[in-house]
């Protein structure tokens, strides 16, 4: 596909013979790609510790791209394709160059939300292409939420039967596999997020008794709240459900959500109230939330999966596993939060300043570019715990008709911030490169 990107697929370039005069000068005939590790990784999945470094030497007659693992070769190929440019006669040029490159942060992600609006497969795949152009390596798939449940589960088909917007607005197992493989070929990890116990309205449609019935005095109101944390059936369900998720999604990590849990429904339910008493939680519903999360973490750990959670899980003092990753998303005073999370010894991923769904007039890419993730109070050791960040495109006002122009090229600013060295901060230079990069992406 890189040959196509550089020289154009359907433009019949191969037959174009350059005018003789333009043939004077050194010619590059080959790009040799060498992957050095014994196991280059071509048949495996990328992971957090994958090596993405590469060494690119462009000199005549043969350029070489060396990388330890195939993931670095992919990054180097992207760079090489960006160095090749066309002259006025339709000839292709590349400057003699030597590039030693590697990412500053290992987790560089994009979040897409396919619950607020369904996104057809094509949108997701096109976005994976755009991610590869920007060296992003994590697709955080916020696949279900309150509004709809498009994930077609094998064990629990009713979830999407009853919870999707409609029967054709779902992701079948085949489609999910397609996304994972398309991503893999671009060195992109797919981390699914099945957000609980809040953000689960759509789960209740296909799974009876999963959600907490809300009460008005002694009467159920007919509406439901978060996942019901006091029933054994809840944990039986989660055990089975996450068994499926663990086998469907090959990445080592699963995002478990845990954000914005509204306690009012739990508070209204008499059985929950009684459970609180029995457990000695008093009226502190954060403890109930933590009780649920802890059991969920145990379940997911038993499947040998790591977990990522939103910051509330940490803030409400649940007992996390030592390798639980905390994602910081609340914009207010996020630097302080990063300090707290890493101070407690947890790995963290930063999303707070990069909610790209919050559009505004003008060149807002600059404010995303100016973010310095390590500007938070903490020791060197703590700063090592910040493994990267994610640009988030929540779906309340986004669907296939406007996803691409809304996300790009603004997300490119985040991509550079996460890959490039700390001192790459010149806005004017970035502007020049961003404008040509945008045209190239088109």
> Which positions are annotated as active-site residues?
260
Could you say whether residue 361 binds other proteins (CB under 8 A)? Answer: yes
Q: Which candidate, 152, 156, 165, places its Cα nearest to that of 115?
A: 165
> Which single residue is written with the structure tokens 């849990």?
261
Q: How far is CA 346 from CA 95, 108, 286, 378, in A?
A: 44, 18, 20, 13
Residue of the chain from 87, 172, 402, 421 that contacts other proteins (CB under 8 A) = 402
Q: The tokens of 269 are what?
A: 């339910």
Q: In what order do the strands lie in the sheet with 30-35?
A: 30-35, 62-67, 54-58, 97-101
Q: The tokens of 377 are what?
A: 């109070």
User: C-beta of 275: minimal distance to other proteins in Å?
Assistant: 38
User: C-beta of 438: minimal distance to other proteins in Å?
Assistant: 9
Residues of span 282-321 touching other proteins by CB under 8 A: none
Q: The tokens of 131 are what?
A: 């991610």
Binding segment for other proteins (CB under 8 A), chosen from 157-165, 275-283, 318-326, 355-363, is 355-363
User: C-beta of 69: minimal distance to other proteins in Å?
Assistant: 35
Residues of span 380-399 touching other proteins by CB under 8 A: 397
Residue of the chain from 154, 280, 362, 380 that contacts other proteins (CB under 8 A) = 362
User: C-beta of 329: minimal distance to other proteins in Å?
Assistant: 16
Do 172 and 129 meet the contact criterion of CB atoms below 8 Å apart?
no
CA pair distance 166, 289, nearest whole angstrom? 31
User: C-beta of 410: minimal distance to other proteins in Å?
Assistant: 11
Q: Which candidate, 418, 417, 255, places its Cα nearest to that of 327?
A: 255
Could you say whether residue 359 binds other proteins (CB under 8 A)? Answer: yes
- Toward other proteins, which CB reaches closer, 43 or 396? 396
Size of the site for other proteins (CB under 8 A): 14
**Segments in 249-359 forming alpha helices (H):** 264-268, 270-279, 285-302, 311-315, 334-343
Do 110 and 119 meet the contact criterion of CB atoms below 8 Å apart?
no
- Toward other proteins, which CB reaches closer, 271 or 357? 357
CA angle 333, 337, 342 (to 5 degrees): 150
Binding segment for other proteins (CB under 8 A), chosen from 119-127, 329-337, 359-367, 369-377, is 359-367
- Toward other proteins, which CB reaches closer, 302 or 401? 401
Could you say whether residue 442 binds other proteins (CB under 8 A)? Answer: yes
- Toward other proteins, which CB reaches closer, 279 or 435? 435
Q: The tokens of 80 are what?
A: 């090489």
Could you say whether residue 406 binds other proteins (CB under 8 A)? Answer: yes
Q: How many Å separate Cα 293 from the centre of its chain?
A: 21
User: C-beta of 351: minimal distance to other proteins in Å?
Assistant: 16
Residue of the chain from 174, 302, 319, 401 that contacts other proteins (CB under 8 A) = 401
- Toward other proteins, which CB reaches closer, 302 or 402? 402
Q: The tokens of 283 are what?
A: 């009226």
Could you say whether residue 405 binds other proteins (CB under 8 A)? Answer: yes
User: C-beta of 398: minimal distance to other proteins in Å?
Assistant: 10
Residues 6+ apart with CB under 8 A from 343: 378, 382
Could you say whether residue 360 binds other proteins (CB under 8 A)? Answer: yes
- Toward other proteins, which CB reaches closer, 38 or 442? 442
Max CA separation in the chain (angstroms)? 90
Binding segment for other proteins (CB under 8 A), chosen from 3-11, 106-114, 200-208, 352-360, is 352-360
Residue of the chain from 57, 303, 357, 425 that contacts other proteins (CB under 8 A) = 357
Could you say whether residue 358 binds other proteins (CB under 8 A)? Answer: yes
Q: How many CB atoms lie within 10 A of CB 168?
A: 8
CA pair distance 295, 280, nearest whole angstrom? 17
Binding segment for other proteins (CB under 8 A), chosen from 62-70, 197-205, 263-271, 361-369, is 361-369
Q: How many Å separate Cα 371 from the centre of its chain?
A: 18
User: C-beta of 363: minimal distance to other proteins in Å?
Assistant: 8
CA pair distance 210, 232, nearest whole angstrom? 10
Q: The tokens of 16 are what?
A: 């174009």
- Secondary structure E strands in 131-186: 138-142
Binding segment for other proteins (CB under 8 A), chosen from 176-184, 247-255, 296-304, 402-410, is 402-410
Q: How many CB atoms lie within 10 A of CB 361?
A: 5
User: C-beta of 221: minimal distance to other proteins in Å?
Assistant: 28
Binding segment for other proteins (CB under 8 A), chosen from 183-191, 241-249, 312-320, 353-361, is 353-361
**Interaction site with other proteins (CB under 8 A):** 357-363, 397, 401-402, 404-406, 442
């Amino acid at each position: 596909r890189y040959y196509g990107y550089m020289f154009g697929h359907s433009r019949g370039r191969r037959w174009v013979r350059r005018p003789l005069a333009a043939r004077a000068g050194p010619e590059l005939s080959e790009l040799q790609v060498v992957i050095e590790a014994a196991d280059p990784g071509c048949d495996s999945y990328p992971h957090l510790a994958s090596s993405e470094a590469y060494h690119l030497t462009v000199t005549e007659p043969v350029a070489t791209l060396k990388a330890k693992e195939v993931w670095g070769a992919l990054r180097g190929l992207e760079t090489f394709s960006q160095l090749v440019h066309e002259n006025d006669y339709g000839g292709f040029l590349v400057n003699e160059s030597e590039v030693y490159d590697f990412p500053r942060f290992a987790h560089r992600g994009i979040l897409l939300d396919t619950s607020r609006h369904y996104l057809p497969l094509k949108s997701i795949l096109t976005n994976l292409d755009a991610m590869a152009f920007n060296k992003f390596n994590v697709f955080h798939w916020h696949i279900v939420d309150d509004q709809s449940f498009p994930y077609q589960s094998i064990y629990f088909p009713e979830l999407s039967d009853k919870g999707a917007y409609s029967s054709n607005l779902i992701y079948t197992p085949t489609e999910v596999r397609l996304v994972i493989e398309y991503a893999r070929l671009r060195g992109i990890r797919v981390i699914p997020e099945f957000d609980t116990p809040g953000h689960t309205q759509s789960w209740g449609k296909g799974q009876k008794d999963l959600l907490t019935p809300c009460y008005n005095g002694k009467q159920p109101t007919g509406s439901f709240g978060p996942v019901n944390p006091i029933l054994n059936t809840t944990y039986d369900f989660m055990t089975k459900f996450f068994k499926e998720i663990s086998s469907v999604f090959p990445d080592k990590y699963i995002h478990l959500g845990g954000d914005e849990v509204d306690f009012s429904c739990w508070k209204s339910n008499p059985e929950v109230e009684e459970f609180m008493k029995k457990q000695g939680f008093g009226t502190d519903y954060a403890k109930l939330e933590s009780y649920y999360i802890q059991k969920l973490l145990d379940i997911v750990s038993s499947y040998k999966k790591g977990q990522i959670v939103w910051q509330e899980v940490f803030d409400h003092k649940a007992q996390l596993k030592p390798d639980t990753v905390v994602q910081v998303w609340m914009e207010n005073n996020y630097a302080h939060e990063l300090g707290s999370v890493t101070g407690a010894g947890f790995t963290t991923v930063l999303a707070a300043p990069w909610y790209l769904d919050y559009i505004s007039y003008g060149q807002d890419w600059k404010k995303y570019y100016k973010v310095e993730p390590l500007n938070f109070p903490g020791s060197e050791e703590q700063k090592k715990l910040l493994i990267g960040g994610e640009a988030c495109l929540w779906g309340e006002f986004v669907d296939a008709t406007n996803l691409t122009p809304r996300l790009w090229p603004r997300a490119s600013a985040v991509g550079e911030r996460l890959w490039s060295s700390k001192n790459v901060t010149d806005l004017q230079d970035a502007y020049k490169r961003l404008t040509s990069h945008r045209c190239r992406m088109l």
